[in-house]
Amino acid sequence: MAIIKPFRAVRPIRDKVSLVASRSYQSYTEEERNSRMNYNPYSFLHIVNPGYKYQKEISGEERYQLVRNRYLEFIEEETFIKDEDTCYYVYKIINREQESFCGIIAAASADDYATNVIKKHEDTLTNRETTFKEYLKTVGFNAEPVLLTYPDNDTIKNVIGTIIEERAEYEFTTTNRETHYVWKVTDQKQITRIQQAFQSIETIYIADGHHRTSSSFLLAQDLASSNPQHQGTENYNFFMSYLIPESDLKIYEFNRLIKDLNGFSKEEFLIQLDPWFRIENRGIEVYKPSKPHHFSMYLDGEFYSLYLRKTNYEFKNALEELDAQILYTIILDPLLGIKDLRNDSRIEYSHGKEDIVLVKSKIDQGEFKVGFGLFPATVDQMKNIADQGLTMPPKSTYIEPKLRSGITIYEFGDF
């Protein structure tokens, strides 16, 4: 039974929302960030990059405190307002490919994460969890929702369908041609129907935002232990999430680029692959896998298709059926000597929204020696791996939608 609560969001006034909203901080290059902050005083980037104001790199607790200060300035200047009533927020995105994503921004329970009502499919890094927990503890707010997905539900779908017939609170288009809509859900009957519908759902899955979720759970534990009047209903026991039905989730692959063949010649490497794959040389024809357990490889100016020989590879669990795991088990670890997929400098990743030609061009330019293309994982694979208590290798999925920061903000600190 999932606990999904409405909350009072802090959010931009209507005429400033398109100026405030920003992509995730890490998705910009330094040049892009500076350009946006130079010409847009309302960008949320000014809050999360407070050192820009002083032309100085600031880190650690000093940065966290300045983030909080910039946030308070946006409130004092009335760029941000806080809703008087608890609400759900229906959020719809139509991307440049005219794909539509529609879900609900709400507060999800940290306890549900602890009890596996909210399930994960990726491992998290302890240092990142702790760092972000300390950041949250100082700033007292969260501005980037965790992406959660749930089984398609007719009740939620019908309520959302009614809500989006009305005029949106926000409607704006970004420079990458995405159109964003947000509706406030204030009708108590609609709120109750949504809340009860989620209570009937046994399991919700993290699609994107594993570190943010785990950090929010650690924060809840930390603040509860220091609060003698802790009751379990405080805002810090929840974290802001964007919940969309599984049918709306879009999963792309991450392709792998490797800098060398670990001492093998091209011919030796192909011979090492032969026991595991049926190999076809595709020449200069651009090849992308068309189904699971098929891989593409670009090496020495030519594409190859690699079809897994299933007689030699045994599927013992859901993880071993995942193409990213197959590639790691057969090629990356034993042949190329890449054991640490997060930190090995010999491997880089290119997500599937970027054309396979990008992989080809980086290899042709000599940056890398070989590239591998994968078929995207499915929602069912992601769920099966989570249900079995397993975790995917790093960079197994690139998931959309990607939300903008600063459109709804969840406060759990004292302001």
The residue written with tokens 């490797």 in the block is: 258
What is the model's pLDDT at position 355? 73
pLDDT along the chain (415 residues), means of 10: 96 96 86 89 94 81 94 96 97 93 97 96 87 95 96 97 96 93 97 97 95 95 93 95 96 95 97 96 92 96 95 91 96 96 92 82 95 95 96 92 94 86
Contact (Cβ atoms closer than 8 angstroms) between residue 44 and residue 21:
yes
What is the model's pLDDT at position 283? 94
Contact (Cβ atoms closer than 8 angstroms) between residue 360 and residue 308:
no
Q: How many CA atoms lie within 13 A of 406 on its CB side?
A: 27
What is the model's pLDDT at position 367? 95
What is the model's pLDDT at position 311? 86
Question: d(Cα 364, Cα 16) in Å, to the nearest integer?
Answer: 45
CA angle 67, 17, 149 (to 5 degrees): 80
What is the model's pLDDT at position 34? 86
Question: d(Cα 22, Cα 99) in Å, to the nearest integer?
Answer: 20
Question: Domains along the chain?
Answer: 4-250+401-411 (no CATH), 254-396 (3.30.1760)
Question: d(Cα 295, Cα 76) in Å, to the nearest integer?
Answer: 54
Beta strands in 194-272 (DSSP E): 204-208, 238-245, 250-252, 254-258
Residue 404: other Cβ atoms inside 10 A: 23
